[in-house]
Structure 1
Amino acid sequence: MPSLKTILVNANDESHRMLRAQVMECISFVMMAVGKDNFGDDAKQVMEVLMSIQGSQMETDDPTTVYILKAWARFFECLGKDFLPYMSVVMPPLLHSVQLKLDVTIYFADSESDDDERMPFITLRSLRCGIKTSVVEEKTIACQLLCDYVHDLKEDFHPWIDQATQALVPLLKLRCHEELWVAAISTLPKMLRSAKVAVEKGIAQGLNSK
């Protein structure tokens, strides 16, 4: 673990971005394997590094973003309720990924483009609509992780329900990518149940509360 933490802290060059991302993945899998009781102080130290990396200025094509989202989810799975204090750090970038603007390119159906091999296309009558895959993948992963958080936290997710709902509702109209649409639509009922339980337990106010 010391070697992995050293790489995580020091692999800051652009050429080392993927290495750092894979180290994040490795550390989070190790923690899941050994459990929080055996991970000791390493968990807090690693999460502090992740917060530092997350707070830095990252390029839009930096793979670290998605790897951090996934690493947080694994830490959450391992720590359970003990992870709650970190949710205020996790949620803003997660919701940012959910709300990423899709990079859509439109061509006439009979035209050719250099992008043909780099993004999937949907043909609509005389037009071809291409969507940048990396953005769709990040949005999809973010929605899936959001769904997991809501499911596991239940009423404890209530502080973020309003923001998450605002991020997800626009995706219900997005039928051009089924996996993303399913991830979004699957999360909303869970948030409704979360809100219901939070109100029933008195930790959140209902619409009719004063």
Structure 2
Amino acid sequence: MKKIAYILVMCLGVWCAGCSENGDDGYYDDFYRVYFPVDSLNYAFGDKPVEMAKYTVKVPVQILGEPARADMKVNVKVDLASTTATAEAYTAVPSEITIPKDSIVGYVPVEIIRENVMDERDTVFRVVLQLEASPDFALGVKEGLRATVTFSNYLAEPEWWVGLKDVFWGPYQKEKYQKMMEIWGGPITLDDYVYKMVKLINVAKEMYEYFQEHPEYGMEFPPYIFWPYE
């Protein structure tokens, strides 16, 4: 009987020790702790509508354990040494965010400004975020203390574009293709070009009329266009 009691006491001790593990030092210390549950998020402007000037990537920050007992503040900074995006490419990231009461997740907003993101091939920019301790939170696992937001603005010229560029849509400019995809409902393939030519030309006409109404985009077209379909 004593042997059984001894085993139960030992098991209880092991269980208590296991329950106390937390943080880098391995034990609970009555602090709320936070981390990034996702270490990388990507956004591509390339195929988005012409009118989309900005986009906000919401980077989640999560509590280890119980929900927040009240609205609680998390400190965050941009690691400028690791960030490749220029300051003009994104809105200043707040140094403090809130995890609401009874929640385990808050978000760091990273607003990207499209006109300041170059559209060169294979050019991807990044903003690197770093969590910092605050009066409300200690830091969680070290692997979750940094998160990277990557973004680009490149849109490749479709292979069919050259076919009728001197007749209808002019030289390739990504804004034209973005508007055509918006009207079409998605990317336009070579098969679409071959088998859905009437629809494609009508979409090109609608795109052309849009940019005639918005000359501020500076789109170039052939001097004389005869649209064969109404």
More strand by share: 2
TM range (shorter): under 0.3
More helix by share: 1
Report the TM-score when normalising by structure 1: 0.22
Report the TM-score when normalising by structure 2: 0.20
